[in-house]
Amino acid sequence: MLLSGALVFALAALSQAASPCCSHPCQNRGVCMTMGYDRYECDCTRTGFYGENCTKPEFFTWLKGTLKPSPKTVHYILTHFKGFWNIINNFPLVQGTIMQYVLMSRSHPIDSPPTYNSHYGYKSWEAYSNLSYYTRTLPRVGNDCPTPMGVSGKKELPDAKLLVEKFLLRREFIPDPQGSNIMFAFFAQHFTHQFFKTDTKRGSAFTKGLGHGVDLNHVYGETLDRQMKLRLMKDGKLNYQMIEGEMYPPTVQESQAEMMYPPHIPENMRFAVGQEVFGLVPGLMMYATIWLREHNRVCDVLRQEHPEWDDERLFQTTRLILIGQTIKIAIEDYIQHLSGYNFKLKFDPELLFNQRFQYQNRISAEFNTMYHWHPLMPDTFHIQGQEYNYQHFLFNNSVMVEHGISQMVESFSRQTAGRVAGGRNVPVSVQRVAVTTIEQNRQMKYQSMNQYRKHFLLKPFQSFEELTGEKEMAAELEELYGDIDSMELYPGILVEKPHSGGIFGETMVEIGAPFSLKGLMGNAICSPEYWKPSTFGGQVGFEIVTGATLQRLVCHGVLRTDRHRDVSHSIPFFDGDNRTPRSALIITSLNQYHFASHCGRVYH
C-alpha cells in the first residue's frame, strides 16, 4: 500500500515537473521535442547545424557565417555612402540583382506554410488550416515552465501598468530623427488595419481578417455583404456623396454599412467605409476618402478602355489594380522611408519568378504586436492653423469636411511624427492600449525578446544596458525583470536603443522587414499567373500599377489631375543626411505655399 502511494506521488511529481524544453535548449531554429518527462531531442533538420542542441555548424554554414557582415554593418552601409548608392540605383540590372537578394534574404526567415498558433505549440493541421487564428512565429511558453519566459527571470513579470508609466509613457514629445510626418503615421495605421484585425470577442489570438494580407478589405469590406452595401452598382464604382463639389464616402444611413461611432455623432458625419473603425480619427478617414476617389477614377479609365465591360468586371479589375498600387507604394515609398536606405527599393515581381517563392501569407501575432507604433502620434494635431487635442479629434469627421482633404494633406505633411524606439514616447492618451498589449502578450505566453532575436539570426542582448544604450533605464529594468533573457518583446522593442538617426532599433527593423516584404510579395497578384497586363485590364491598367507612387495617389485624390510634384513620407525640406530639418526660414516660407493650387509637396 505504501509502495503504491509512493508510486502515485512520484508519477504526480513527474507530471508536474517542468518540461525540459522550457529552457529553450535547441539553438539555431532547431525544434525541441520532449522524450518522456525529463529528456528532450533537438530536430536540426535543414538548419545548417547539428549536435545535441543544434550548435555545431556545417561547413557551408560556418563559411557563410564567417563571411556575412552583421545586420548593424549592413544597415550602416545601406544608410550611408549616398553617392555610391546613387550610382547603383541608376543601373537597373545591378539594382535588380541586389533587390532580388533583399527579397529572398528577408523572406527566408518567415515560415511558410505556417507552423504554430497560440493554442498549438507544435505542428498540427489546426495550426495550418484554421485561418481565424493569427499564426505564431515561436510557440507559446509551456504552462508547466517555472517562469513566464521558461526558466529565466523572476516567477512573476512586472506590473504592466508600472512598466508603461516608468518606461513607455511620454514625458515630452520626442520627434523622429528620420523626419517622418503625420501623413506617414496615418498611412501606417490605415494600411495595416486591413490585416491587423484582432477579434476582440474571441481573444487576442484570433483575427477577423481572413485574407491575411493586402486585399484592401479596409476599402471594400471584409465580407461580400459589406462590399455590396458600399458599392454604387454602376460602372464598377464605390458609392459616394458630394459635399461642396468634393467626393466623400457615403453615410451609414445611406449605405447601411455598420460603423463604430458614439451615439452623439450626427448622422451626416457618420461616413461608411470598408473598415468599421476608420471613423475613429479624421486622418484614417482622409486616407479612406483618397482611396475611394482613386477607385472611382480608375473605374473611369477602365470604362473608357473597355466600354463592353459590365459593372462587376470593372469593379473586380479595379480592385486588383488598387491592390497592385498599394503594394508598390508600400515598398517604394513607405518601406523605403522606414528603412532609411540610400539603396532604392524596387517593386518588380519578376525578380522572383526564377526563385522558389511561395505566394501565400499568414499574419503573425508577433507582427501584429510589433506594429503598435503609438509613439508616432503627436500630443495634438495641427490643421490649417488650428490645434486639435485628442478629445476634439476623435470621431470627428467634421474636421475633414471643414478643412478639406487638400488642407489636411498639407498640414499633416508638415507636422513631425514621434520616434518609436528609445522609450518614453507613448502619448498619455493611449497608455491603456500599451498596457492592454502587454497583458494580451502575456495571456498568449510570448517567448522573450532574446528568443525572437535568435530566431531571426540576431545576437541576443547580453545586458539591459546593451538593450537600451544607457544606464539609468537599464538598471531599473534589471531590477524588475532580473534577467535580460526574460525581457518581453513589446516593451523591449520600444525601449531598445534606436539606430543612429533612426526611428527604430535593430530588432524592429530586422524582424519587421521579413514580415513586411514576405507579406507584400507573397500576394497573388505578384505571382507569374497574375502579373501580366490582362489581369489589370490591359496595358493601361498595368501602367497604373507600375507607375503608382504616393504622390500620384494623393494628387489624383485631391485634385484629380496629373500635375503632381514631390510626395514622400518626410517633413518638407528634411535633410536626410544630417537627420535634421534645414532652416526655419525655409519652413516658414513653406507655410505660404498652397498645396491645393499646385498639388505640391506632400511628404510622409
User: Tell me, what DSSP letter sits at residue 584?
Assistant: H
Q: What is the DSSP string of 534-579?
A: GGGTSHHHHHHHHT--HHHHHHHHHH-SS----B-SB-TTEETTTT
Which H, E and C letters describe 132-160, residue by residue?
CECEECCCCCCCCCCECCECCCCCCCCCH
The yes-or-no answer on residue 594 being catalytic is no
| Cell numbers standing for residue 445 | 505566453
Chain CA centroid to CA 199, Å: 18
Catalytic residue from among 24, 75, 193, 218: 193
Give yes or no: 193 in active site.
yes
In 224-310, which residue ranges form alpha helices assigned H by DSSP?
224-230, 252-255, 282-305
CB-based contacts of 144: which residues, under 8 Å, 6+ apart? 16, 17, 18, 19, 22
- Least Cα distance to 212 among 371, 368, 328, 442 occurs for 368
Q: How far apart are CA 72 and CA 56, in angstroms?
A: 24
Cell numbers for 212, please give them.
Answer: 491575411
Q: Is 151 exposed, middle or buried (0-12, 13-18, 19+ CB in 10 A)?
A: middle
Which residue type sits at 348? Answer: D
Task: Please report where in the chains the cell 539555431 appears, as a residue.
Answer: 28
Helices 311-329, 282-305: inter-axial angle, 10-degree rounding: 130
Using N-to-C axis directions, what is the helix angle for 282-305 and 539-546, rounded to 10°?
150
Q: Can you tell me the distance from the alpha carbon of 446 to that of 488, in angstroms, rounded to the nearest whole number? A: 8
**Which of 371, 388, 390, 530 is the catalytic position?**
371
Helix (H) / strand (E) containing 223 = none
Concatenated DSSP letters of 287-349: HHHHHHHHHHHHHHHHHHH-TT--HHHHHHHHHHHHHHHHHHHIIIIIIHHHHT-SS-----G
Q: Which amino acid is at 409?
A: V
What letters, b where the CB count within 10 A reaches 16 and e where it falls short, cover 407-429?
A: bbbbbbbbbbbbbbbbbbbbbeb
Residue 113, preceding bond cis, omega within 30 degrees? yes
**Which residues are the active-site residues?**
193, 371
